[in-house]
Structure 1
C-alpha cells in the first residue's frame, strides 16, 4: 500500500494544482511573473509556431510538442530503465538483507543504502520522469488556457479549450493509460505485485476523471503521450526480455 501511495501522490498533487488554476487572461498582453514569462509564454509561443507550420491545426501542434517533450526527457527514461534493471538484479541481495535484519529496521536501511552505493544504484531515479513531467504538464495546461487562438480552435470533434461532452477523449485517455500500464507490467516482472495490479485499474479511472474535468487539449496530450510511451517501452524493454 505504501508503494501504491508513492505512485499516486504525483497525480493527486497535479490534479489539485490544475483544479486550482483559474481561467487567466490571454498572453497577447504583457507577461508578468517568472512562471508566465519563462515557462507558460514560451510554451504557448511554441504551440502557435508549430500550428502555423501545420495548416493552423493546434491538435497536430500539440502532437509535435508532445514528441519534443518526450524526447527531451528520454535520457531520464533511459536512466529509469537502467535503474529498474539494476534493482531487479539486486533483488536477491535485498531480500537477504530484509531477512537478516527483519527485527532491526534501522540496520536494514543502512545495509540497503550501502548495497545501493556499492552498485551505483539510485532508487529515486525511477521517479525523475514523473517529477520532470509534472511542471511541464502544468505549464502546458496554462499555455492552453492562456492562448486565445486555441480557445477558438477545433480539432476533429473537439473544441480544444472545452471538455469533450461526448466523452470520447476521456475514454481514449483512460484506455491508452490502461494499455500503457499493461505493457509496462509485461516487460517489468517486478511490477506484477498486488499494488501495481491495483494501479492498473486506479490510474485509468483517475485519468478519465481528470480528462473529463479539463480542457480537451490536455487529455489530448495524454493520449499522444501514452501512445508514445507504449511504443517507447516496446523498443526499450523488448530486447532484454527473455
Structure 2
C-alpha cells in the first residue's frame, strides 16, 4: 500500500461511474419498449417495473407532469443512496489521514530497502509494512470499500431503464423540450454538469493527482453528451439532475469530513 491509496480509491470510484455510463449506453435490452410483466425477468420485474410504477405514480400526483416526476424521483433515489455514499467518502478521508500519519515511517521503510531488490529483502519489507499497518490499526483491504458503489449500480440502472421503457414519458413535454425526443440543449447541460461534478471530486487532491485524472475527467461528460444527442431528452434530464445532486453531495462530504493537514493528529485513528 503506497501513499496513493486514497487517490486510487477516488480513481476507482470515478472509473466506476464511467463504467456505469458505458454499460447504460451499450446495453439496449429495453430498447425503449414497454416490459411485459408476465415475461419479465427478475431485474425487470423488481427494479425496472417498480421504478416505472413510481414514475407514473408521482407524475399522476402532479397532473401528468412526467418531467417533474423524473426530477423528484431522481432526487429521492440520490437522497436514499447518500448515507452510503457519505460513509464511503468518510472512509476515504479517514484512510488519507491514516496514510498521512504513517507517511514518515513508510518513507523511512522505503528508503531502508531502496537498494535491496532481492526477494528476501522485499519479503522483509512487506512484513515490516504489515507490522506498521497493524501498529496504526490500518487495514488496506477494508479501507478501499466498494460496497456502496456496487449497491447503487442496480438501482441506477433500473431507474435508467424505467425511463426508457415507460411509454407515457415519450408523449409529454417538460420545460422547452419533449421528453420522448432528442434535444440539442440538454446534452450540453448534462455534459457540463458532469464536468463540474468531476471538478468537485478534485477538491483536496494535489497537482499530480489532478493531472493524472485529467483525461478521465473528460471521458464521462463526453460520453454522457454523446449518448444524450441520440437519446430521448428524458435521459439527459435524469443525468443533469443526478449530476447536480452529486456536486452538492461532494461539497457536503468535504465540509463534513475533509480536514486540513494541520488538524490531523499524530495518534492512530481507531476504526
TM-score by length of 1: 0.80
SS in structure 1 at match of 2:143: coil
Task: Say whether the 8 Å CA contact 2:197–2:247 is kept in structure 1.
Answer: yes
- C-alpha separation in 2, matches of 1:160 and 1:109: 59
Instruction: Assess, with a 3 A threshold, how the Cα gap between structure 1 residues 191 and 145 changes in structure 2: closer, same or farther.
Output: farther
* CA-CA distance at 1:43 after TM superposition: 0.5
- C-alpha separation in 1, matches of 2:38 and 2:226: 34
Question: Match of 1:111?
Answer: 129
* CA-CA distance at 1:141 after TM superposition: 2.2
1:145 aligns with 2:161: no
Question: Match of 1:61?
Answer: 69
TM-score by length of 2: 0.73
Unaligned runs of 5+ in 2: 1-6, 261-271
Unaligned runs of 5+ in 1: none
- C-alpha separation in 1, matches of 2:11 and 2:92: 19
Question: Match of 2:245?
Answer: 228
* CA-CA distance at 1:91 after TM superposition: 2.4
- C-alpha separation in 2, matches of 1:185 and 1:18: 26
**Aligned partner of 1:15 among 13, 22, 25:** 22
CA-atom RMSD, angstroms? 3.3
Task: Say whether the 8 Å CA contact 2:92–2:144 is kept in structure 1.
Answer: no
- C-alpha separation in 1, matches of 2:48 and 2:104: 46
Greater share of helix: 1
Question: Match of 1:169?
Answer: 186
- C-alpha separation in 1, matches of 2:232 and 2:123: 46
Alpha-carbon displacement from aligned partner over 1:43-62 (angstroms, at most 9, x marks no partner): 00000011011221111111
Structure with larger Rg: 2
Which gives a bigger RCO, structure 1 or 2 (Cα 8 Å, sep 6+)? 2
SS in structure 1 at match of 2:182: coil
- C-alpha separation in 1, matches of 2:149 and 2:131: 23
> Superposed, which structure 2 residues align to 1:204-215 within 5 Å?
204-215=221-232
Comparing 106-115 with 224-233, which one deviates more in the overlay? 106-115
Question: Match of 1:123?
Answer: 143
